[in-house]
Amino acid sequence: MSIELELNKTNRIRLARAFQRHKRVDCSIDCVVEGQMGQAFVDQLLQPAAFRITVGPFWYFAGQADDPGGRSLLQEFPSYSLLMPSPPEWIAAAHEVFQERLVPFTRYSFSPHQLAEAHLAGLFDQSPYRDRVVALDSERVAGLTAQPESFFEIADFDSAADFLERGIGYAALEGEQVIGVAYSSLVCSRGIEVSIYVEERCRERGVGTALASRLVLDCKRQGMWPNWDAANPESCKLALKLGYRFVEAYEAYYCVA
């Protein structure tokens, strides 16, 4: 059975040391270590042998995978959440525990180091949606979060007000209707996790390019790292168009029910 770890100063140091060698494909580990969002769990409080970080559907593991406490943490992994890059012994343990239920899922990592403000500004200024992209305010955030199946996922923030305080985002409008959003789904001291959604009927029109270029340009101007972790070829294509550099494809895993 897992025990939630209070994110006080001592435990945040513990987490930082446990996860210091983990590959950073998104902001999840930094978010939890800094106490910004997400949760941490251990097998025992006094001398933990195994650690788990969860932010939304993303799960990371550290410590001793072959320890009974480690196996206990792993066995709580739910169907259709994502087991993100963790040490090889944890992936091997997951295969052993879940066997054929564990399914690989390819994701794509990009670097923002070579992003150019001039290029991003040019993409945005040349977009036919330039004048239809607006900053998310309290009214639009309230409207998006009130929808029963909203594509605007800010559940890792404490509230809509918390998102407006710490997050950043833009909406594309068709009349008064929001047809797409680009926003920070995660935040930490170094930057944000970029999330983009465009209504299906409005795709392939340049809406995503307008939204993404505006958001990433804002990040660059504020000195924030705009992390881009792609889950599909469309996201990869847009990242390259914006000026991101492809780093690598990597495997995450999920369990089927």
Strand arrangement, sheet containing 177-188: 3-4, 39-42, 50-55, 58-63, 82-83, 245-255, 102-111, 225-230, 191-198, 177-188, 169-174, 133-135
Place of tokens 């066995």: 75
Output the furthest CA–CA distance in the chain (Å, rounded).
58
- Its pTM stands at 0.94
Q: How many CB atoms lie within 10 A of CB 202?
A: 15
Per-residue pLDDT, averaged over 109-130, amounts to 97
Report the percentage of the chain scoring pLDDT > 70.
Answer: 100
Given this model, what pLDDT does residue 108 score? Answer: 98
Query: For the segment 227-240, what is each residue's pLDDT rounded down to a tens digit?
Result: 999 999 999 999 99
Separation between Cα atoms, residue 7 and residue 13, nearest integer Å: 9
pLDDT of 95 higher than 80: yes
* Backbone phi, psi, residue 40, to 5°: -125, 145
pLDDT of 1 higher than 90: no
Per-residue pLDDT, averaged over 184-199, amounts to 96
Q: How many CB atoms lie within 10 A of CB 120?
A: 23
Given this model, what pLDDT does residue 154 score? Answer: 93
Report the percentage of the chain scoring pLDDT > 90.
Answer: 94
Per CATH, the number for 3-108 is 3.40.630
Separation between Cα atoms, residue 233 and residue 109, nearest integer Å: 12
Given this model, what pLDDT does residue 202 score? Answer: 92
Domain residue spans of the chain:
3-108, 109-249
Identical fold between 3-108 and 109-249: yes
The domain 109-249 having CATH identifier 3.40.1380.10: the answer here is no
Q: Is the dihedral of CA 184, 186, 189, 194 positive or negative?
A: negative
Query: For the segment 133-166, what is each residue's pLDDT rounded down to a tens digit?
Result: 999 999 999 999 888 777 899 999 999 999 999 9
Given this model, what pLDDT does residue 107 score? Answer: 98
Per-residue pLDDT, averaged over 214-227, amounts to 97
